[in-house]
Chain A
Amino acid sequence: MKALCWQGKNEVRVESVPDPKILNPRDAIVRVTSTAICGSDLHLYDGYIPTLRMGDILGHEFMGEVVEVGPSIVNLKVGDRVVVPFTISCGNCFFCKNEMWSLCDNSNPNAAVAEKVNGYSGSGLFGYSHMYGGYAGGQAEYVRVPFADVGPLRVPHGLDDEQVLFLSDIFPTGFMAAENCNIQPGDTVAVWGCGPVGQLAIRSAFLLGAERVIAIDRFSDRLIMARETGQAEVINYEETDILEALEEMTGGVGPDSCIDAVGLEAHGHTIDAIYDRAKAALMMSSDRPSVLRQALQACRKGGTVSIPGVYGGYLDKVNFGAAFAKGLTLKMGQTHVQKYMLRLLNYIQDGKIDPSFIISHRLTLEDAPEGYRIFQKKIDHCTKIVMHPHETIH
């Protein structure tokens, strides 16, 4: 089959690789009909996430048709259309039973590596480095899905791929980011980053009852999308002092909650952001946490900072004192996708949201290397790339 394989920093290539096969009784093989490039794939592409190996197949946002099931799979059959969560979860451990799916105890065969780095290991993830299990990802024609009796969601008739594809990651991720804010009536939520997760966090915040959402980015097309599709108030951080603007817009108290939908590769022109870039350039730091600093500083007393943006290592000069002084609640982590899929599917079926609004580009799998390039550079107003591996699109 054809699959997109990581070659090194800023280099991916479509290769012919062996077809996946059933390795465990609870596996299924899925013929991928739609697969997307996620913003967190760019962290891999940019070389920020350790333990990737040459030849690893990327991709963790995908869906398709079941073509083979292992002997223990009874809830899926060949021919079912499924969306597959990017978190691989066993459904049996303490964490899965308590809906902390992304913290599954059993799905990461390289848990020892993650333990060395983080103390304890989270779940395995598709296509996201060997520290997270080393599982082959879904930017391919076919993919093996472990614990397939737990994760994949069958797609009801009448919904096309692009309406439900983002149930695999970014819609639940944006939703969990908003849910973590514990939104109360009248709340104002500030969202840093108007990429796909940020856009869906904006929509989710309103779905959960926020009165106002303030969206922050530097790309005018993304800010326009946040304003026109998401009904958010917007700030361009290249033109406006964010902290002053947020204070002014919230009557001097700050947003009730702040969402960092940017993570470790934050840009910016403040002194701390320049400092971060210099340290990263000298390979003295892995993360550039300038958005997190702003969120901690801007949030109102007793508020919540929710962090769906990915961080990878040690963070320098983070104003943790501000978080302590204001009694902030910090919530973060990989998304517990399985917890949200059915609820969000209902939102889609009820017509409350159609997440496909974020798609800007549709490519073939062969075009994936170019897709990574334009997504990384934000060329051609790129917000989200979807590929259909078994179709020819031109």
Chain B
Amino acid sequence: MEESKEKVEASLIISSSPEELFEAFISLSSYPAFVPKLKSVTPVGEKKVKWVMDASLNGGGETLMDWTIAITSEHPPRMFTWKTCDASPVKAKGCISLKPLSGDRGTQVKVVFQYTRPNEFVINSFIRFFGEPLHARVKEVLRRFKCLIETGEIATTEGQSHGAISKLETFSDWLTRIESAVLMRLQSPKKDERKQRIMS
């Protein structure tokens, strides 16, 4: 099956120094705190880590997948690059760069993320119409990281008090899950690897 490469970029200003942010970013083991559904990050060698992601629809952890990421270059405190290892089911690479701003405006963080996906017309059309772009997901991760760095926690309403939810709301929730399922399918490089899914 044909594959296509996709590149997304996201940028955000964070009230912190490049040195502190570089330290936080390069410490890959801290990522489960702000990357949704990332279950664990384990060192597996020199500048290499194994990521385990919960790829189940409901976040219950029934479907896990893992891959290995390696840091490929470091230029502290301004930039580093990474890529997934050849044996990983996910083919992706990226770069994080940090630019200090004047005064007390903090640091501009730029994330560049490239990955390879199959060309499947129906799925891609569906995603274009209904789906949340990868850019939005990368931006969301960046936003959560900023919140954690700046405030020490990530703002949430999960688990808060709520009144009864109607059947219509439940239906809407299921539509969201179907959308997520298609997004996950999109992330699978090959049909025979469907069990290995990622959600970012």
Report how far A280 CA is from B157 CA in the complex, Å. 32
Whether, in the assembled complex, A164 has its beta carbon less than 8 Å from a beta carbon of chain B, the answer is no
Q: For A24, give its contact among B140, B153, B161 (CB under 8 Å).
A: B153
* Chain B 60-114 residues near chain A, CB threshold 8 A: 104-106
Whether, in the assembled complex, A20 has its beta carbon less than 8 Å from a beta carbon of chain B, the answer is yes
- Tell me which residues across on chain B come within 8 A of A25, comparing CB atoms: 152-153
* Chain B 136-151 residues near chain A, CB threshold 8 A: 136, 139-140, 143, 146-147, 150-151
Report how far A111 CA is from B157 CA in the complex, Å. 13
A138-159 interface code vs B (CB 8 A; 1 in, 0 out): 0010101011000000000000
- Residues of A in contact with B, size category: 35 or more
Whether, in the assembled complex, B155 has its beta carbon less than 8 Å from a beta carbon of chain A, the answer is yes
Question: Once the chains bind, are B157 and A133 in contact (CB under 8 Å)?
Answer: yes
Whether, in the assembled complex, B159 has its beta carbon less than 8 Å from a beta carbon of chain A, the answer is yes
* Chain B 151-166 residues near chain A, CB threshold 8 A: 151-166
Residue of chain B at shortest CB distance from A6: B163
Report how far A105 CA is from B139 CA in the complex, Å. 13
- Tell me which residues across on chain B come within 8 A of A97, comparing CB atoms: 15, 104
Q: For B152, give its contact among A15, A19, A26 (CB under 8 Å).
A: A26
> How many residue pairs between the two chains, A and B, have CB atoms under 8 Å in the bound complex?
109
Question: Once the chains bind, are A24 and B155 in contact (CB under 8 Å)?
Answer: yes
Question: Once the chains bind, are B162 and A94 in contact (CB under 8 Å)?
Answer: no
Residue of chain A at shortest CB distance from B12: A105
Nearest CB of chain A from residue B55's CB, rounded to whole Å: 21
A87-118 interface code vs B (CB 8 A; 1 in, 0 out): 01011111001000000011111011000000
Whether, in the assembled complex, B168 has its beta carbon less than 8 Å from a beta carbon of chain A, the answer is yes
Question: Once the chains bind, are A94 and B166 in contact (CB under 8 Å)?
Answer: no
Residue of chain B at shortest CB distance from A17: B161
Nearest CB of chain A from residue B25's CB, rounded to whole Å: 18
* Chain A 3-42 residues near chain B, CB threshold 8 A: 3, 5-6, 13, 15, 17-21, 23-26
Q: For B160, give its contact among A91, A92, A106, A135 (CB under 8 Å).
A: A135
Question: Once the chains bind, are A17 and B163 in contact (CB under 8 Å)?
Answer: yes
Q: For A111, give its contact among B143, B152, B161 (CB under 8 Å).
A: B143
- Given contacts A94-B105, A105-B146, whether A56 and B153 have CB atoms under 8 Å apart is no
Whether, in the assembled complex, A341 has its beta carbon less than 8 Å from a beta carbon of chain B, the answer is no
Nearest CB of chain A from residue B89's CB, rounded to whole Å: 28
- Tell me which residues across on chain B come within 8 A of A122, comparing CB atoms: none
Whether, in the assembled complex, A124 has its beta carbon less than 8 Å from a beta carbon of chain B, the answer is yes
Question: Once the chains bind, are B155 and A107 in contact (CB under 8 Å)?
Answer: yes
Question: Once the chains bind, are A93 and B15 in contact (CB under 8 Å)?
Answer: yes
Whether, in the assembled complex, A319 has its beta carbon less than 8 Å from a beta carbon of chain B, the answer is no
Report how far A94 CA is from B15 CA in the complex, Å. 7
A37-60 interface code vs B (CB 8 A; 1 in, 0 out): 000000000000000011111000
Q: Which secondary structure dominates where chain A touches chain B?
A: loop
Report how far A25 CA is from B160 CA in the complex, Å. 14
- Tell me which residues across on chain B come within 8 A of A55, comparing CB atoms: 162-166, 169
Whether, in the assembled complex, B13 has its beta carbon less than 8 Å from a beta carbon of chain A, the answer is yes
Residue of chain B at shortest CB distance from A107: B155
- Tell me which residues across on chain B come within 8 A of A15, comparing CB atoms: 163-164
* Chain A 117-140 residues near chain B, CB threshold 8 A: 124, 133-136, 140
- Given contacts A92-B15, A106-B150, whether A54 and B155 have CB atoms under 8 Å apart is no
Residue of chain A at shortest CB distance from B172: A53
A247-287 interface code vs B (CB 8 A; 1 in, 0 out): 00000000000000000000000000000000000000000
Offer 27 A-B interface pairs, CB within 8 angstroms, sorted by A.
A1-B161, A3-B161, A3-B163, A5-B162, A6-B163, A18-B161, A18-B162, A20-B161, A25-B153, A54-B163, A55-B162, A55-B165, A55-B169, A56-B162, A56-B163, A72-B152, A90-B147, A90-B151, A93-B151, A94-B13, A94-B15, A97-B104, A106-B155, A109-B156, A112-B139, A144-B161, A147-B151
Q: Which 5 A-B pairs have the closest CB atoms?
A: A5-B163, A55-B163, A106-B147, A92-B150, A15-B163
Chain A interface (Cβ < 8 Å from any Cβ of B): 1, 3, 5-6, 13, 15, 17-21, 23-26, 53-57, 72, 88, 90-94, 97, 105-109, 111-112, 124, 133-136, 140, 142, 144, 146-147
Chain B interface (Cβ < 8 Å from any Cβ of A): 13, 15, 104-106, 136, 139-140, 143, 146-147, 150-166, 168-169
